[in-house]
Amino acid sequence: MMDLSTMIPSGLNDFIELIIAFFMVVTATSVTVFIQHTITSFIGTVEWNMSEIIKMILPLVGVVVGGLITFFIQQSVIRKQQKWDREKIEIDNFKKGETKKLETYNRILEVDAIYIIHIHDHHTGKGTLKIKNFNQYVRPLLFEIFHLLDEEVANSLNNIEEICERQRVMEDDYPDDYEKLSDNYINIISEIKKQFRQYRESNKRLKNPGETPEF
């Protein structure tokens, strides 16, 4: 943007500033004289006794008190509104997180049904977790929402991770490693199915408020 002051000669610029300063002084003097004249006239026409002073002060006190009350009420309303807004954001974020978690749980159950992740021997009652398939199909999904996982699911996943990490570092297996791997994976799937049962029961209660939930 062009600076107009650069287009005015230096002498003319100083003269304009002097004129402005003069008018400011004249204006300030005029206002001061007017205030002094008003106060003098007021003092000359009012009888300054206590009752008159109280009559003058009371309205001012009322204005100040009313202003303070209004201020504190407004502050209280603002704080409550801010609290409601924060709670609404937290609730919205929680709902979004729960939706994402259930969607991922659903994908885990889907890949568990499609691929051979876990084998259960009906004759011996023992199970075997196929680590390669688990790492390829299930593990990435769980870590995608690790911050949203239910406690039981997160604990079982951590147990599997610890066993696999120890086996990799030590290059050795404990006798009960594979049983623990199997048990922890079963816990993950069981907990996911439990979450879906609770979700359905919750929706059922919303539709039929009088019914008792079954888990």
- 20-35 core/surface letters (b: 16 or more CB in 10 A; e: else): eeeeeeeeeeeeeeee
Q: What is the mean pLDDT of residues 189-208?
A: 89
**pLDDT value for 49:** 57
Q: Does the pLDDT at position 130 exceed 80? A: yes
Share of the chain above pLDDT 70, in %: 69
Q: Which tokens in the block code for residue 32?
A: 């001061």
Confidence of residue 9 (pLDDT cuts 50, 70, 90): very low
DSSP-derived 3-state class of residue 41: helix
Contact 126, 175 (CB under 8 A): no
Average pLDDT across the chain, whole number: 79
Q: What's the rounded Cα separation, in Å, for the pair 207 and 87?
A: 25
Helices 177-207 and 151-170: angle between axes, nearest 10 degrees = 160
- Read off the pLDDT of residues 23-79 as tens digits, 9 standing for 90 and up: 454 444 454 445 455 555 555 554 455 666 666 776 776 777 777 788 788 888 888
- Read off the pLDDT of residues 146-170 as tens digits, 9 standing for 90 and up: 999 999 999 999 999 999 999 999 8
Q: What's the rounded Cα separation, in Å, for the pair 67 and 65?
A: 5
Contact 120, 127 (CB under 8 A): yes
